[in-house]
Amino acid sequence: MLLEDLHQIAAKEREAHQRLRYCVSVCVAAGCLSSHSDAVKESLTREVAEVGLRGYCQVRGVGCLGLCSGGPLLSVEPEGVLYQGVKPEDAEDIVRSLDEGRLTHLECSPDQPFFKRQVNVVTENSGRIDPERVEDYIAAGGYEPLVKALTEMTPQKVIDQVSRSGLRGRGGAGYPTGLKWGTVSKASGDTKYVICNADEGDPGAFMDRSVLESDPHRVLEGMVTAGFAVGTSRGFIYVRAEYPLAVKRLQVAIREAKRLGLLGNQICGTTFSFDVDVRLGAGVFVCGEETALIASVEGKRGMPRPRPPYPAQSGLWERPTLINNVETFANIPSIIRKGGDWYASMGTKKSKGTKVFALTGRINHTGLIEVPMGITLREIIYEIGAGLPEGQTFKAVQTGGPSGGCIPEQFLDMPVDYESLAQVGSIMGSGGMIVMDSSSCMVDVAKFFMEFCMTESCGKCIPCRSGTAQMYDLLAKITQGTATSDDLALLEELCDLVKHTSLCGLGQTAPNPVLSTLRYFKDEYVAHIKDKRCPAGVCPCGSAKEVSA
């Protein structure tokens, strides 16, 4: 497969597309599928045949269109019209309205801030291509960056571009990607590995799942490019078995890429070969931690081990291993295509490019969004998310999942970047963003995340195994209205101890939700302890209403 071959496939696809009068793209990613978008697609296909539009109107399944709260979603090209809340019985009206050139009541404007305020790099093809057709990806410019890297660049030049881009790992810690690639490339030994971390265990997070379901070739292309850059021909994708659609689309993508010689032996007629295997995880949060993940791929129990040595020096089967997150790899094709400087022109001084977030909670528009680093929380929540439903007041936004924190209103104008989030006691994490209103009790929120960490602790080290359980018990006591101020002091002491003495990131960050809620919402803890009252009326110790009555 050479550049000309790719161009030929792309031209053929575009020609076929131009012959169509309409292209109806129905979201068949997990969010819309759960509200039966597959039935919508079937019904539309039937209707198109009945009206006699076959040959002029194509109905196809695409990945996530982003506005999950409006699902099932579909878009109609060339008009660029988006329909939301579509049911199978709406198919007749939609198809006939297309035939007659009028629009239906279901239409929603793609000009609204939800779409206009986003910058789509990783999600540029989401909702625009059929994730199960490699030709669609190629027609959108896919695999050109890989061919460019293999035929026009040296491995060092690829690493240089990634370094120039300023891309930082999107799995949570934000380690500079170029630096990691450089370390693995320089590590001694003939056998090395590339691993894509698609474990995504944070509650409420669905960024990586969506990228894999919507544009799996982009992730594969990023991995193959990485393999070329660091000098290895073997890769693994570790994905949780609870993501069956992502797994299926990955497997289809691997098969299709192999068929076209974009994966496997002597890629694009060069001497470079690269193969990828999918490994299924059992849905264990700690298996997303890189050393636990490596143990799991090796067939051992998924437990973290002390670092150093870091996987870049000694990872899978004690060989140098490059491990990156799904979104990190998905950024690579665009960086190679447009250059590191282009990527670095977006974002802030230390946090470059864009970030994908799963926006959920008490907000009008929930869904998957991609925004430039440095955008403010207020812009995300009130412009893209269209604010909270009527009558509800903003209380906090939780970022970073169980390792993150709750950010109060006073920081809404803060830029979203690694440093600013850390400064206010939270983290970027992998991109979960949950908006909470006054009906959320912050002690209860902290208890929820602590219960998650306690359950997911692998038990290898005592501070985390025993500390998360003790902290959970104390939080439970507070919510039941039976705690004393000594219990609160003990909770604070334990937070400090577990944070500083746990072996891996799970234990080290488990106290964060408690620490951040204590920092900004201590009055709620005090109300539970002193007044035996839950101000939000959530906890069993009693509600504000009961106390005032």
Ligand X SMILES: Cc1cc2nc3c(=O)[nH]c(=O)nc-3n(C[C@H](O)[C@H](O)[C@H](O)COP(=O)(O)O)c2cc1C
Q: Which residues in this chain contact ligand X in the complex, by CB under 6 A?
A: 169-173, 175, 197, 199-201, 285-286, 288-290, 323-325, 328, 430, 504-506
C-alpha 329/C-alpha 223 separation (Å) is: 6
Interface of this chain with ligand SF4, residues 477 to 506, rule: CB under 6 A: 502-504, 506
Q: Cα(155)–Cα(162) distance, rounded to whole angstroms?
A: 11
Number of C-beta neighbours around residue 413 at 10 A? 10
In this complex, which beta carbon is closest to ligand SF4, that of residue 413 or of residue 496? 496
What minimum distance in Å lies between the beta carbon of 181 and ligand X? 10
Partner in contact with 136, chosen from ligand SF4, ligand X, none, beta carbon below 5 to 8 Å by kind: none
Size of the site for ligand SF4 (CB under 6 A): 14
Task: State the binding partner of 234 from ligand SF4, ligand X, none, CB within 5 to 8 A by kind.
Answer: none
Site map (CB under 6 A) of ligand SF4, residues 58-97, x = contact: ----------------------------------------
* DSSP reduced 3-state for 46: helix
Please state the length of the chain. 549
Q: Which parts of 503-542 interact with ligand SF4 (CB under 6 A)?
A: 503-504, 506-507
Selected binder of ligand SF4 within 268, 388, 445, 461 (CB under 6 A): 461
Whole-number Å distance between alpha carbons of 384 and 401: 21
Choose, by CB under 6 A, the member of 52, 203, 269, 459 that binds ligand SF4: 459
Residue 59 or 504 having the CB closest to ligand X: 504
Q: Does 457 bind ligand SF4 (CB under 6 A)?
A: yes
Residue 197 contacts which entry, ligand X, ligand SF4, none (Cβ below 5-8 A, type-dependent) = ligand X
* CA-wise closest residue to 275 among 213, 319, 228: 228
The C-alpha atoms of residue 15 and residue 166 are separated, in whole angstroms, by: 37
459 binds, among ligand X, ligand SF4, none (CB under 5 to 8 A by kind): ligand SF4
CA 506 to chain centre: 19
Residues 126-145 that bind ligand SF4 (CB under 6 A): none
**In terms of CB distance, is 172 or 425 closer to ligand X?**
172
Nearest-angstrom CA–CA distance, 165 and 362: 35
Compute the distance between CA of residue 105 and CA of residue 166 in angstroms, rounded to an integer: 45
Q: Between residues 137 and 452, which has the closer beta carbon with respect to ligand SF4?
A: 452
Q: Which does 367 bind (CB under 5 to 8 A by kind): ligand X, ligand SF4, none?
A: none
Task: From residue 536, give the alpha-carbon distance in Å to each of 308, 449, 496, 524, 528.
Answer: 45, 18, 27, 9, 10
3-state helix, strand, coil split of the chain in percent (to 5) is: 50, 15, 35
Q: Which listed range, 1-9, 235-243, 388-396, 456-464, lies at the site for ligand SF4 (CB under 6 A)?
A: 456-464
What angle separates helix 462-480 from helix 442-456, to the nearest 10 degrees? 150
- Three-class secondary structure assignment of 479-508: HHCCCCHHHHHHHHHHHHHHHHHCCCHHHH
d(CA 449, CA 427): 14
Structure tokens at 297: 């791929």
Q: Which of residues 277-296 bind ligand SF4 (CB under 6 A)?
A: 286
Per-residue binder mask for ligand SF4 (CB under 6 A), 294-323, x = binder = ----------x-------------------
Least spacing, CB of residue 304 vs ligand SF4, in Å:
4
Cβ nearer to ligand X, comparing 40 with 358: 358
**Choice between 145 and 400, CB closer to ligand X:** 400
Closer by beta carbon to ligand X, 137 or else 238: 238
Which of 285, 303, 315 is CA-nearest to residue 461?
Answer: 303
* Burial (CB count within 10 angstroms: exposed 0-12, middle 13-18, buried 19+), residue 474: buried
CB of 195 vs ligand X, minimal distance in Å? 8
Summarize as ranges the residues that interact with ligand SF4 (CB under 6 A).
286, 304, 457-461, 464-465, 502-504, 506-507
